[in-house]
Amino acid sequence: MVDTIFIGGRVFTGTADAPVEAAVAVGGGRVLLVGDQETVRASAGPDTEVVDLAGGLLMAGFQDAHVHPAFGGGQMLRCDLSAEHSVEGYLAVIAAYAEAHPDKTWVHGGGWSMDVFPGGTPTRQLLDKVVPDRPALLTNRDGHGAWANTLALRLAGLDRDTPDPVDGRIEREPDGTPQGTLHEGAMTLVSGHVPVANAEEAYAGLLAGQAHLFSMGVTGWQDAMIGAFPGHPDNYEAYLRAAGESTLLARVVGALWWDRERGLEQIPDLVERRRTGQVGRFNATTVKIMQDGVAENFTAAMLEPYLDGCGCPTANSGISFVEPGLLREAVRQLDALGFQIHFHALGDRAVREALDALAGARTANGVNDNRHHLAHLQVVDPADIARFAEVGAAANMQPLWAAHEPQMDELTIPFLGAERAAQQYPFGDLLRAGARLVAGSDWSVSSPNPLWGVHVAVNRTVPEGEPGEPFLPEQALTLAQALTAYTAGSAWINHLEDVTGTVEAGKYADLVVLDRDPFAGPPEEIGSTRVVRTYVEGRLVHQA
């Protein structure tokens, strides 16, 4: 039986480089027919819903290959700064949240941008102005830093004599007193004291995250961090509950967190979590290894040292969180056990260390279908571009970041230098060298709007405001290539390409209706495209 037909627009099937003049019939949760308008209309019965695309575009639902919905949704329910982009705006939101939640022993949340503050490092005194009476800890958008007030630092016992952890850094005042900004592993010195959300709050956060992604046309994803973290509950349990209760409607692959405080002894635990973590539409079949940090706080692992404000080399070339020898052995063993490995590899040294580990695993174990991938890829040495295809590694890109904006122009390029700055986000080179591209947002680090990501991938300019000069335009993708990475590419990385990712008869009706056909307008307007409807297995899960 035909439940729904879509008429009055074009269809980007994902099997060609351009949309086709067609209509689509859906029934029983599957695409039944992609054909001409007359034939599809004739397939409708008396109870069939007719959806007029009104000149818009029908396409497969977006799939986000690197995202954190449980954390993003949880942040939406706490002190959420993501809608603001000024010191005044942040302080107003924090003050309002603190006043509205006098029962909270901590003011906890996040979403601030580094580029708003001088040097990317907000001070404790600034936060003290609006939260003087309770400890406060707010993570930044990328999750690699946190802003603490004086009471939080004092409660955690941090003072001028507290050493930096091996995997992080405490920003300090001239006399060594903690300044209020904590980078990477230094965050845990304070976050370990934050009350953890209870099971109900964690579950609510996941469902809020799912609803927000549905509003963006995202019908499936890979959660890039499954585990418990200081100040956060174990989202594994929230996913299992949602999957068991069938409130998890999206198809989700979970990337189990590799604990960098442990070694190979954690592998049996990961095997057990994989065994018990395959319920309904949730499959925890991947391991996430964070190999480095981020360039803005100088923790991304680089082949050569960062520069200082005067353009001179420093003694710092970032942090490899997993020692390369251990990384190679861990990857070999995980690959042999059939795990997919999802690397955070942002700096050129981290990229090389991940590729070296995958090359070693392929030599030891042979070729398989585990579909390993490297995410972020901010700086890739040209010598390593071709190695992605050679070792079978997909390039998991977060295209929204590949544009001139303050965090790039003020906190990154000056400290990389001209040569390395020109090696950032080389999506075009990777594709031309045979790498498979998949796409994600890294929400709540940045917007989960796939159409904004696609806009930047095509234009290499920001999706809102004055576009400015394109950022390394030779690395731009076509619209079809960018959309394919965000649909069929991410479906492939999640081993779902046989049932999702394109609009073809027999596949699940995971579909999105756009308010316009971005192929028909100028490229600089792609980011203005909006999602009108989102379907999962033919079920309407979002309507604008």
Cβ–Cβ < 8 Å for 287, 270: yes
Instruction: Give residue-wise pLDDT tens across range 158-208.
Output: 999 999 998 889 999 999 999 999 998 899 899 889 888 888 989 999 999
The closest alpha carbon to 215, from 446, 486, 540, belongs to: 540
Residue 499 has φ and ψ, to the nearest 5°, of: -125, -10
> Which are the contacts of 312, defined by CB distance < 8 A and separation ≥ 6?
none
Question: Hunting for tokens 């490229």 — which residue is that?
Answer: 523
User: What is the mean pLDDT of the segment spanning 449-475?
Assistant: 96
Q: According to the model, what pLDDT value does residue 258 have? A: 97
Cβ–Cβ < 8 Å for 351, 374: yes
User: What is the mean pLDDT of the segment spanning 1-9?
Assistant: 97
Residue 239 has φ and ψ, to the nearest 5°, of: -65, -45
Average pLDDT, rounded, for the chain: 95
**Residue 358: which H helix or E strand, with range?**
helix 348-365
Q: According to the model, what pLDDT value does residue 230 have? A: 67
Q: What angle do CA 131, 136, 137 make, to 5 degrees?
A: 145
The closest alpha carbon to 253, from 121, 383, 66, 396, belongs to: 66
For the chain, the distance separating the N- and C-terminal CA atoms, rounded to the nearest angstrom, is 27
User: What is the mean pLDDT of the segment spanning 361-384?
Assistant: 98
Alpha helices for 144-234 (secondary structure H): 150-155, 188-191, 199-215
pLDDT confidence tier of residue 77, bands split at 50, 70 and 90? confident
Tokens of 445: 């680090």
Cβ–Cβ < 8 Å for 404, 471: yes
Q: According to the model, what pLDDT value does residue 266 have? A: 98
- List Cα–Cα distances, 323 to 89, 267, 276, 467, in angstroms: 41, 16, 29, 41
d(CA 360, CA 363): 5
Total-model pTM: 0.88
d(CA 8, CA 22): 8
Q: According to the model, what pLDDT value does residue 197 have? A: 81
Length of the chain: 544
Cβ–Cβ < 8 Å for 373, 493: yes
Cβ–Cβ < 8 Å for 257, 226: yes
